[in-house]
Structure 1
Amino acid sequence: MAFTIAFFGTQPYDETSFNERNKPFGFEFKFFKGHLNKNNVILTQGVDAVCIFVNDTADAEVIRIMAGNKVKLLALRCAGFNNVDLAAAAKYNIPVVRVPAYSPYAVAEHTVALMLSLNRKIPRAVWRTRDGNFSLNGLLGFDMHGKTAGIIGTGKIAKILIQILRGFGMNILAYDIYPDHNFARQHQVVYTTLDELYKASDIISLHCPLTEDTKYLINDYSISKMKDGVMLINTGRGQLIHTTALIEGLKSKKIGYAGLDVYEEESEYFYEDKSDRIIDDDILARLLSFNNVIVTSHQAFFTKEALENIADTTLNNIKDFINNKPLTNEVK
């Protein structure tokens, strides 16, 4: 019998890309639109592996039930794994694999798109010209050349972003608990403390994983240390920013711009069409009311190349598991 994989939180593009890339593998797929949680984990009965995305929940209870259903492997089709109880997975001997780098170029390029759109007020300019208003009042931007970008986390995505921003002629400050000094020398990056980064940066971009140490890294206290009018960009994980503190920073003008591809309570909204409903999340609705905030729906990864890489890496992770090969992308 074919190895069976249950996919949760799927969209039409997931089905298309995985079905196309599955031809050499011959796995059997079951696609479920709902996010994995304790209420639908019963759907994992009779499958060999479960594949989830960023807004699915694989907590201890879900993993316990999956183990009882004889699920052998949990495959993440994303890089982050903060939605998985790794201790529970280890307890029930369910390996967890992920896609560590589906397209760092896609995320870095989207990060720059947010910066440029906010700086040059592209959305507002487009709305105006479509309405026949060609005034430039209120559209004033700034030269990014010569400004300072503070990059928190210097993994693959951040390194590509840094090279793009260096091409703009920006100065780069960086913070990482594991600094890459060789890269820093090659690209004129200065590693510094978080306090100094907050103080000196015109633009701050978040590229660190979500852990207990980084949860709400951006809060009232850290915002108070930033330059007045700073631009804050988050294409990492929503809970890196305390959203209420962000809103207060926007209201006080301490934060001049915010570009968010993620939101800490995004699972009820992102990847879904809610255009015919009132947004009953008051905090999200407040964010969307600011004309100096751009929110995109966790789409930074969303390129053709990234979808192909996600499918290929996920399916190869599963193939390695079946063949008892080392799991190079296992999360311990």
Structure 2
Amino acid sequence: MKIAVFSTRNYDQQFLEQFNTGHELTFFTQSLSLQNIPLTQGFDALCLFVNDNADAQVLAKLEENGIKLILLRCAGFNNIDLFAAAETGIKVLRVPAYSPQAVAEHAMAMILTLNRKTHKAHNRTREGNFSLEGLMGFNLHSAKVALIGTGNIGKAFYNILVGFGCQIMAYDPYPDKELTAKGLQYGTLEQVISGADIVSLHCPLLEDNHHMINTTTLQLFKKGAMLINTSRGGLINTPEVIAALKSGQLGYLGIDVYEQESKLFFADHSSEIMTDELIARLISFPNVLITSHQGFFTREAMEQIAQTTYANVDAFASGSALDNEVRE
């Protein structure tokens, strides 16, 4: 099949070329949008990432251009209008799991960095400052952790937390039987986050959990607690999180995702003026750690993404069962 790959970076091209099963690829650095729809002419399928836009307007134009298939090289699909895709007959396939340990390990790296302030210590010692003032952290052993979402990534993160000796309680509309058998206790969102030292988000972004972390839920956190988001930016209400940081209700914030990240992430803006006032405000806090959607970014994950993407396109081309199809 002829496949247009959008939002391409060097690493995407490297792994997609390495594991190609015989398809014709054309790479575009641009993210898919209504403005660059003409780029999709002459292709059978598109390969998209998290910040590509496939809303109803875009999908209608893609149908006109003869696009039959959208291959998501990610697990999330909140950037796709699935109802519109079904109306146009365009199939949407995703990569439901790719090294969940990668994201889980990144979440723990953010916790350890924020808690023990190793990034600040590193900068100090490089300047000859060996003082410990302002570097005090807290023991993760026995800390209460609210685990929000226990899918593949949440389960991987649970196992890490167990190794640190944390007290874990989880919220998920669909409790995992394997984790329940191991002794994990589930509760309502309110029960789980109440009094938590750390709240870590590991769930997809859906209509009913948009801005699930807001002024109301933040008030249930233990004062000075830590919030980690390696899932989707829209899970948190950024202005209200900033207000909680300013008041001290929220003591630490680690985010690998941001609701407006499509205009920022995966590109170098170091020579530009930062016009996004929210991200600029977050960067100014000493107790905030931001990474640019790199939680997935390990060699093993990139290999799995490429292999599953080609398994998806090969299944479509051969008329086989579409195990990874996403439907409304």
Same fold (TM over 0.5): yes
State the secondary structure of the residue aligned to 2:150.
coil
For residues 277-324 of structure 1, the C-alpha deviation after alignment (integer angstroms, 9 at most, x for no partner) is 121101000000111000000000000011110011001100000000
Instruction: Please tell me the residue identity of whatever aligns with 2:14.
Output: T
For residues 39-73 of structure 1, the C-alpha deviation after alignment (integer angstroms, 9 at most, x for no partner) is 00111100010010000000001111110000110
Gaps of 5+ in 2: none
Is the 8 Å Cα contact of residues 35 and 57 (structure 1) preserved in structure 2?
yes
1:206-245 correspondence to structure 2 within 5 Å: 206-245=201-240
State the secondary structure of the residue aligned to 1:244.
helix
> What is residue 200 of structure 2 aligned with on the other side?
205
| Structure 2: distance between partners of 1:41 and 1:129 | 51
C-alpha displacement of 1:76: 0.4
1:141 equivalent in alignment to 2:137? yes
> What is residue 261 of structure 2 aligned with on the other side?
266
1:95 aligns with one of 86, 91, 94: 91
State the secondary structure of the residue aligned to 2:194.
helix
Instruction: Please tell me the residue identity of whatever aligns with 1:167.
Output: G
Is the 8 Å Cα contact of residues 171 and 189 (structure 1) preserved in structure 2?
no
1:228-307 correspondence to structure 2 within 5 Å: 228-307=223-302
1:14 aligns with one of 12, 15, 19: 12
How many residues are treated as equivalent by the alignment?
327
| Structure 2: distance between partners of 1:223 and 1:146 | 21
2:80 aligns with one of 78, 84, 92: 84
C-alpha displacement of 1:15: 0.5
Is the 8 Å Cα contact of residues 201 and 230 (structure 1) preserved in structure 2?
yes
1:59 equivalent in alignment to 2:39? no
State the secondary structure of the residue aligned to 2:86.
helix
Is the 8 Å Cα contact of residues 195 and 220 (structure 2) preserved in structure 1?
no
C-alpha displacement of 1:262: 0.2
Query: TM-score scaled to structure 2, two decimals?
Result: 0.99
1:152 aligns with one of 143, 148, 151: 148
1:113 equivalent in alignment to 2:120? no
Query: TM-score scaled to structure 1, two decimals?
Result: 0.97
> Where in structure 1 do 4 or more consecutive aligned residues deviate above 2 Å?
none
Is the 8 Å Cα contact of residues 6 and 52 (structure 2) preserved in structure 1?
yes
C-alpha displacement of 1:200: 2.7
| Structure 1: distance between partners of 2:285 and 2:180 | 36
C-alpha displacement of 1:180: 1.4
Is the 8 Å Cα contact of residues 259 and 293 (structure 1) preserved in structure 2?
yes
Is the 8 Å Cα contact of residues 8 and 30 (structure 2) preserved in structure 1?
yes
| Structure 1: distance between partners of 2:52 and 2:118 | 33
State the secondary structure of the residue aligned to 1:182.
helix
| Structure 1: distance between partners of 2:300 and 2:83 | 33
1:169-188 correspondence to structure 2 within 5 Å: 169-186=165-182, 188=183
1:323 equivalent in alignment to 2:318? yes
Instruction: Please tell me the residue identity of whatever aligns with 1:45.
Output: Q
C-alpha displacement of 1:182: 3.3
> What is residue 38 of structure 2 aligned with on the other side?
42
| Structure 1: distance between partners of 2:206 and 2:279 | 23
C-alpha displacement of 1:164: 0.7
| Structure 1: distance between partners of 2:161 and 2:51 | 30
CA RMSD of aligned residues (A): 0.7
Instruction: Please tell me the residue identity of whatever aligns with 2:134.
Output: G
C-alpha displacement of 1:181: 3.3
| Structure 2: distance between partners of 1:225 and 1:163 | 25
Is the 8 Å Cα contact of residues 82 and 210 (structure 1) preserved in structure 2?
yes
State the secondary structure of the residue aligned to 1:40.
helix
1:31 equivalent in alignment to 2:15? no
For residues 1-41 of structure 1, the C-alpha deviation after alignment (integer angstroms, 9 at most, x for no partner) is xx10001111010011100111xx11000100010000001
Determine what percentage of the aligned residue pairs are the same residue. Answer: 51
Is the 8 Å Cα contact of residues 173 and 201 (structure 1) preserved in structure 2?
no
> What is residue 196 of structure 1 aligned with on the other side?
191
Is the 8 Å Cα contact of residues 19 and 307 (structure 2) preserved in structure 1?
yes
Gaps of 5+ in 1: none
For residues 226-247 of structure 1, the C-alpha deviation after alignment (integer angstroms, 9 at most, x for no partner) is 1101100000000000000110
| Structure 2: distance between partners of 1:253 and 1:116 | 20
